[in-house]
Each structure stands twice: as structure tokens, then as C-alpha cells.
């Protein structure tokens, strides 16, 4: 059994992507260990020093769940200092806490809010976050809060307007 380096979830042998966060199989290792953090920092440094700064920032976000500004600042500091010495990756929150939070948000605020929160915490793209949240909801048999959509609001407004017109004799 391996662990996803991006989110810390347990991953069975032979899978191509983490079922929790969608990270590719090549990002697996012992989460949070100094060795895996060192490998990640060097991977990010190699991307940045070869001019692939955007890819380095993306990789930093995937690895840490940081927002764009934090990731950019970290990569800029690496470039300014000339390497990874003295740099460390911030640790992600435990997966089990995120799962519970995402399930709660989905049930109370809806799937879109859950996807937004997943993206904030994990620093992944919209497609990956949507797939991860939907997989989590399916895994736990949870239905997301539906809320009132645009169609129901428009229908209500139309009915209200028609009723008002009849009342006033229009």
C-alpha cells in the first residue's frame, strides 16, 4: 500500500490516479517524510531553474495545497536564494478531516461550495476537484444539497408577476 504524496490518502497498487485528489501515480510516496519533501523541493527547484516557473508553482500547489500567491512567493524565494536549502514544504491537513468537511459542506451548502473548498485546500484544478468531490459523495452515498436553481427562481418571479398583474387588473 502506498500513500499519495499530494493528499496523504492510502492508494492501492496498480492505480493510475489517487482516488481522493486525482494526483498522478508518479507522485506517490510516504507523505510528509523529510525524504519525500526533499524530493518534491528538488523537483520544484528543477522546474523553476529551467525556466518552467509556472509548472513549478503548479507543482508546489499540488504538493502543499497552497493558494496561488503562497506558491508563487515560495518559488520566487527559491529562485532568489539559488536553491532549496532552508526551504520546507508546509504540511497539508489530514485527509480524514478534509473528507468530513467536504461531506458536511456538500450536504449543507451544495456541491459547488464543496468543490470550491476542496480546491482551496488541495490547490488543484476545477476538473480534478469536481471528480474528487463526486467520488467522495458516491463513496459515502451522500446527496449534495440542491438549493434553489435559477429556473425555480425565474418561475417564482414570473408567477408572482402574473399574480400581481391579475390583482391590479392589467
Query: d(Cα 7, Cα 61) in Å, to the nearest integer?
Result: 11
CB distance 73 to 66 below 8 Å = no
pLDDT (average), residues 100-107: 92
Q: Are 137 and 106 in contact (CB under 8 A)?
A: yes
Instruction: Read off the pLDDT band of 25 (50, 70, 90).
Output: low
pTM of the predicted protein model: 0.46
DSSP state of 93: P
> Which band of pLDDT confidence, cut at 50, 70 and 90, is reported for residue 28?
very low
Q: What would the pLDDT profile of 49-103 be if each residue is shown by its tens digit?
A: 999 999 999 988 887 777 788 889 999 998 998 887 777 777 665 666 788 889 9
What is the pLDDT, as a whole number, of residue 20?
A: 73
Euclidean distance between CA atoms 92 and 94, whole angstroms: 6
- Check residue 99 and give its pLDDT: 87
Helices (H), 25-125: 34-49, 53-64, 68-81, 95-108, 111-122
- Domain residue ranges in the chain: 2-81, 93-164
Q: For 21, phi and psi rounded to 5 degrees?
A: -120, -10
State mean pLDDT over 16-29.
62
Instruction: Identify the residue whose cell numbers are 503548479.
Output: 58
Residue 26's closest CA among 56, 1, 57, 2? Answer: 2
In sequence order, the 6+-apart residues with CB closer than 8 A to the CB of 95 are: 7, 8, 9, 20
* Residue 45 and residue 37 in contact, taking contact as beta carbons nearer than 8 Å: no
164 vs 44: which has the higher pLDDT: 44
pLDDT in tens, 112-166: 999 988 887 776 778 888 999 999 999 989 888 876 555 556 666 666 665 555 5
pLDDT at 91 (0 to 100): 65
CA nearest 30: which of 13, 10, 60? 10
Pick the more confident residue, 136 or 7: 136
Amino acid at each position: 500500500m502506498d500513500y499519495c504524496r499530494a493528499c496523504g490518502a492510502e492508494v492501492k497498487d496498480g492505480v493510475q490516479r489517487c482516488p481522493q485528489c486525482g494526483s498522478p501515480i508518479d507522485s506517490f510516496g510516504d507523505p510528509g517524510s523529510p525524504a519525500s519533501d526533499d524530493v518534491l523541493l528538488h523537483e520544484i527547484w528543477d522546474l523553476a531553474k529551467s525556466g518552467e516557473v509556472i509548472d513549478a508553482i503548479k507543482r508546489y500547489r499540488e504538493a502543499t495545497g497552497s493558494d496561488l500567491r503562497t506558491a508563487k512567493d515560495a518559488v520566487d524565494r527559491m529562485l532568489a536564494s539559488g536553491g532549496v536549502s532552508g526551504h520546507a514544504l508546509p504540511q497539508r491537513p489530514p485527509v480524514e478531516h478534509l473528507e468530513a468537511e467536504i461531506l458536511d459542506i456538500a450536504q449543507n451548502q451544495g456541491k459547488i461550495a464543496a468543490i470550491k473548498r476542496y480546491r482551496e485546500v488541495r490547490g488543484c484544478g476545477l476538473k480534478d476537484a469536481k471528480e474528487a468531490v463526486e467520488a467522495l459523495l458516491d463513496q459515502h452515498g451522500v446527496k449534495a444539497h440542491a438549493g434553489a436553481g435559477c429556473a425555480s427562481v425565474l418561475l417564482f418571479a414570473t408567477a408572482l408577476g402574473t399574480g400581481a398583474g391579475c390583482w391590479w387588473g392589467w
